[in-house]
Amino acid sequence: MSEPSAEVYEQGRGMDAHNKVMRELRDEKGAKDYDPAEPTRVWLDEDNTPDGVYQSLTIILNTGGCRWARAGGCTMCGYVAESVEGGTVAHDNLMTQVEACLEHERDEADEESGLVKIYTSGSFLDEREVPAETRQAIAETFADRERIVVESLPDFVEREKIADFTDVGLETDVAVGLETATDRVRHDCVNKYFDFSDFEEACAEAKRASEAAEAVDAGVKAYLLMKPPFLSESEAVEDMERSIRRCADVEGCHTVSMNPTNVQRYTMVDQLHFRGGYRPPWLWSVAAVLESTTDADAIVVSDPVGHGSDRGPHNCGECDDLVQEAIKDFDLRQDPSVFSEVSCDCEATWDAVVEREASYNLPLAE
């Protein structure tokens, strides 16, 4: 694969216009300093994995941010606005961030988490964001855990990098922000440069790493985006159902995480939402996709961030928490019957939106 750069990805793809707009929006943020020794976020939760449900420690490291986002980036992603300026954070600072997250875990949990998830709002396997020295030190730090998830664009997924984790006995998942299995939607709606074939190659690299490790598994967790801009509600549902099934059919991909779009600052989605041109997906749509893809050969989960708010996936406001609880229950048990236990009058409105909303009249309802 070619090395990531704005010039490489924009050529012949019509991405220069998207990137120009995105750079202008990000410039509105103005200067803000972020401490390179402080993680962006850390929290404890539960996650479903191929080996069962684990207590999880989720770490978002503060790095120089996604290099594609620096070029302009994805239409919905505002995470680069929280990154340290300058493109690089030193090894010592990154390890100080990790120690702060471990201290949080010691303070908040009765026992160590079996699963550790590490994100950078970019690519953990991009050595400009996280040097090889740091990657190897983090692998050693968590060698006594059961499983680790690291985030990366497919360009940087290489068996040698994954081996840093499998060599110390960690079951390893690479979380790839695929967004959709439909190349046109990924390019035109999300402004993401790579093709589905690149995702397939990343899965193959993880599989080769797993085979080399023999007794330690490595695989891919696909992250999909529910309702990127410019899709109607019905188009978004259809795209997710198709994408989940296509991902599940790729050898090496064992989990699909469907992320409903939330409106983040300094993004194209934010501009559309402010002008009445975008509504985050309905929680009923999330439930419908999860229920309809239970036969897919993968664990399918969703974590609607900001549910119930105007900027997050929501229904009418009365049933949002109940539907969110059902989604969380489904994530852990993979039992679609949980959705039959929640109902609301606003389902009729959602039905009408799915049936009648089209690109020229979206959003049809708030």
Tell me the residue type at 191.
N
Confidence (pLDDT) at 315: 98
Confidence (pLDDT) at 311: 96
> How confident is the model over 216-266, as pLDDT tens digits?
999 999 999 999 999 999 999 999 999 999 999 999 999 999 999 999 998
Q: Answer yes or no: is pLDDT of 344 > 90.
A: yes
Which residue has better confidence, 4 or 107?
A: 107
Q: Is residue 147 part of a domain?
A: yes
The strand pairing partners of 173, in sequence order, are: 149, 219
Q: Answer yes or no: is pLDDT of 279 > 90.
A: yes
> How confident is the model over 177-201, as pLDDT tens digits?
999 999 999 999 999 999 999 999 9
Average pLDDT, the chain: 91
Say how far apart CA 212 and CA 135 lie, in whole Å: 19
Q: Is residue 366 part of a domain?
A: no
> How confident is the model over 9-33, as pLDDT tens digits?
444 555 777 777 767 766 676 555 6
- Give the angle subtended at the CA of 32 by the CAs of 29 and 38, to the nearest 5°: 130
Q: Is residue 209 part of a domain?
A: yes
Confidence (pLDDT) at 146: 97
Share of the chain above pLDDT 70, in %: 91
Q: Answer yes or no: is pLDDT of 206 > 50.
A: yes
Tell me the residue type at 128.
R
Of 222, 42, 3, the C-alpha closest to 128 is 3
Is the distance from CB of 166 to CB of 147 less than 8 angstroms?
Answer: no
Confidence (pLDDT) at 95: 98
Range of the domain at 129: 6-361
Is the distance from CB of 217 to CB of 146 less than 8 angstroms?
Answer: no
Report, as an integer, the average pLDDT of 142-168.
97
Is the distance from CB of 157 to CB of 205 less than 8 angstroms?
Answer: yes
Confidence (pLDDT) at 78: 83
> How confident is the model over 261-277, as pLDDT tens digits?
999 998 999 999 999 99
Say how far apart CA 257 and CA 261 lie, in whole Å: 12
Say how far apart CA 80 and CA 84 lie, in whole Å: 8
Tokens of 93: 């600072």
Say how far apart CA 134 and CA 185 lie, in whole Å: 35
Range of weakest confidence among 1-5, 135-139, 179-183, 271-275: 1-5
> How confident is the model over 73-116, as pLDDT tens digits?
899 998 766 666 666 799 999 999 999 999 999 999 999 999 99
Q: How many domains does the chain have?
A: 1
- CATH code where residue 262 lies: 3.20.20.70
- Look-up: residue for tokens 């090395």? 3
Q: Is residue 1 part of a domain?
A: no
Of 214, 1, 37, the C-alpha closest to 126 is 1
Cα separations in angstroms, 62 against 4, 34, 40, 83, 122: 20, 8, 5, 6, 10
Report, as an integer, the average pLDDT of 333-338.
96
Confidence (pLDDT) at 2: 46
- Give the angle subtended at the CA of 145 by the CAs of 141 and 150, to the nearest 5°: 70
Query: By three-state DSSP, how is residue 356 classified?
Result: helix
Element (H, E) at 163: helix 159-166
- Look-up: residue for tokens 């909303």? 357
Distance of CA 72 to the CA centre of its chain: 18
Which residue has better confidence, 84 or 290?
A: 290
Confidence (pLDDT) at 86: 61
Q: Is residue 32 part of a domain?
A: yes
Tokens of 149: 């998830």
Confidence (pLDDT) at 33: 64
Q: What is the CA radius of gyration of the chain?
A: 20
Range of weakest confidence among 70-79, 141-150, 303-312: 70-79
Q: Is residue 210 part of a domain?
A: yes
